Amino acid sequence: MKQIVAIALLFILGAGVRAQDKDVASLSIRVEQPEREYLSASSCRILQTKMTQILTRNGIAKDLPSNRFVMTAKANVLGKDIIAGSPSRVSEQIELTFIIGDVLDNIKYGTYVVNLVGVGINEEQALVQAVKNVRTNDKGMDAFIETAKTRIVKYYRDNEDKILQEANVLVAGSQFDQAIYLLSMVPDACGECYDHCQAKILEINKLKIDTEGESLFSQAKAKWAKSPNAEGAEEVYPLVAAISPSASCYPKVRPFLNQIQSKLVADEKREWEFKMKQYDDKIAKEKREFEARVEQDKREAEIRKQNIEAARQVAVEYARNQPKEVYYYNTILLW
């Protein structure tokens, strides 16, 4: 929670830093399992690893899983020969077609074809060996990736209004984390579109903090109204302790706690005072850490990246907690 507290100030302090990083395109493209018609399970796993290495080498972000843009591959067997010997060996020639596209709109952004040969004591080993021969430093592959990156950036720039509108719809349904996730997918190479989405992330984060804080405060008041005693105070404490100091309702928390304290009898009051001391210490520590971090970050050239990273972690956490099928498309690809 305290990371989110710092976002707004850090964003202001770090304004303009993105201009120094225009060559960085934090795209997110996930690797989709290759088509299994001609590939074995082992060769598929190796090919997926190869594609991950290729994307990483080309500066593709891995921390924010994309549910839209994917890289996959299809294989065709061009020929198979038996090499005489003891034992005899199998030689397979395969054609691998690498594809990057948008699985939601069913659009193919580019393909790259490589021909490979593998030799093994059986067809399985021959396929595995062929896939192992995929070069991760292929210049043609690099050009293929670069073309796809350019087209993905264009997609975001052309659809800025649509993305912001979708985020607003999610916010209206209190789906704050999903909205942040959606906006966090926009790469920083998108210029003004990226800036607008980052500003929206900050706005949503603040709204999320305020909404969650108000909900917790309402629950705490309801608990106390129902049980204005030591038991009720026990239920109230974890609720108010979870309210962020930057929530709009926070100024009302201390008077409410004082009201509770004044109603407790002497023995109960001592235990409550101990809890309040823990609470005050926690808040004071967060404020000290926040002030120290701001003071340090003022001197950091990378302050804006830290700012955005705090918000992007909300999206990462959201994505990781979704069922696996959220990331896998259920569209019949026309590629």
pLDDT score of 303: 59
- Residue count of the chain: 335
Q: What are phi and psi of 127, to 5 degrees?
A: -65, -45
pLDDT score of 263: 84
- Among 3.40.50.10610, 3.30.310.50, 3.10.590.10, 3.30.70.1230, what is the CATH number of 24-158? 3.40.50.10610
pLDDT score of 195: 93
Q: Is 279 helix (H, G, I), strand (E, B) or coil?
A: helix
Q: What is the DSSP code (8-state) at residue 116?
A: E
pLDDT score of 315: 73
pLDDT score of 131: 93
Residue 94 · residue 44 · CB < 8 Å:
no
Strands 30-31 vs 69-83: parallel, antiparallel or unpaired = parallel
The whole-angstrom separation of Cα 330 and Cα 311 is 29
How many CA atoms does the CB half-sphere of 90 hold within 13 Å? Answer: 17
Q: Which residues sit opposite 95 in a β-bridge?
A: 76, 115
Query: Number of helices (H) and strands (E), helices first, in the chain?
Result: 11, 4
Domain positions in the chain: 24-158, 192-325
pLDDT score of 82: 86
Hey, how many other C-beta atoms are within 10 angstroms of the C-beta on 304? 24
- Per-residue tens of pLDDT for the chain, all 335 residues: 444 433 333 333 333 334 334 433 467 888 988 887 888 889 999 999 999 999 999 888 665 566 688 999 999 999 988 887 888 888 999 999 999 998 888 889 999 999 999 999 898 899 999 999 999 999 999 999 999 999 989 999 999 999 999 999 999 999 999 999 889 888 888 889 999 999 999 999 999 999 999 999 999 999 999 999 888 999 999 999 999 999 999 999 999 999 998 888 776 777 788 888 888 888 888 888 888 877 776 666 565 566 566 676 777 777 777 665 433 334 445 56
Strands 69-83 vs 89-102: parallel, antiparallel or unpaired = antiparallel
Sequence-ordered list of residues with C-beta below 8 angstroms from that of 78, at least 6 positions apart, any chain:
93, 94, 95, 115
Residue 224 · residue 257 · CB < 8 Å:
no
Q: What is the pTM of this model?
A: 0.66
The torsion of the CA quartet 122, 123, 129, 130, rounded to 10 degrees, works out to 150
Residue 153 · residue 160 · CB < 8 Å:
no
> Omega before 87 cis (within 30°)?
yes
pLDDT score of 12: 33
Q: What is the DSSP code (8-state) at residue 324?
A: G
Q: What is the pLDDT of residues 36-73, one digit of tens each?
A: 788 888 999 999 999 999 999 988 866 556 668 899 99
